[in-house]
Structure 1
């Protein structure tokens, strides 16, 4: 239901403002699929760019530094053998930076799949939110949106429209990638 609501919201805004193109800046698990649905409904030039995944958390645990994420924090919180101080250390360290969760969960899986579908630039799903290249990726996405508009509106190139990009072959490619990378079962 939430993906449909997101798609409706994006579609309403684009139609209300008679948008010529769409730059979808998404990151969380429901946003990217909802925006993909809207892009296919609207069928105007579109490019996706995510905020990027956060860096993996690290915590010193039993004299070892281990990588962790929020799932680890929940497991530790449920463990009666862990002290409140240990759980607190894990919770403080699980999400150390901005970005989507640091695992191959739905958000990061979907951001990788937008690449496979042909809706985003290389690195969209894997470049960290804090990496210097992320800013360049945003700038490239903006330039790509302008290029797609020129190709469609000035050169009548309909191959740049979402319904022509999202072919059966593109979806098969995305499904193969999802399986190969061990992506979320929610994608």
Structure 2
């Protein structure tokens, strides 16, 4: 039975010893990995505000991610292809894996560095969190404002409850949301936060 396109070997030139040289194929996969990992690093740098706050170091980190992606992919692909040979389906699987990684770059970055509302939901107001069943829970009728200075204020529509003011409410922040004043500390303590 003749090989199909997917099961056929990738045609390569022999090296100086007469063995098939898979360096061009491994290099092409390494180039694709460079693009995908640089894309992931760029999304993380952008979402975490690292690109805004430390532009030069962000570019260095993006370039380093791309270089590490190239070197690792090239080394692994060259070793595997030298041992087993390269078939077109190997290349297809590797490219599909890289496309999957690249397509999830934005989702990964926003999961690691969520915006203030997502952080509030995860830490305090979401399902299973200490404020979820209170007037301050996400999904409850309240007004939430976020200032440029990194303060978040949750004001329940029921005016018998005081506003909850939180600090560290910045996009891409790593710090936990903390009470910004004594009244907010009492609110969190009264709900076991």
For Structure 1 versus Structure 2, the TM-score category normalised by the shorter chain is under 0.3
Normalising by structure 2, what TM-score? 0.26
Structure having the higher Rg: 2
Normalising by structure 1, what TM-score? 0.27
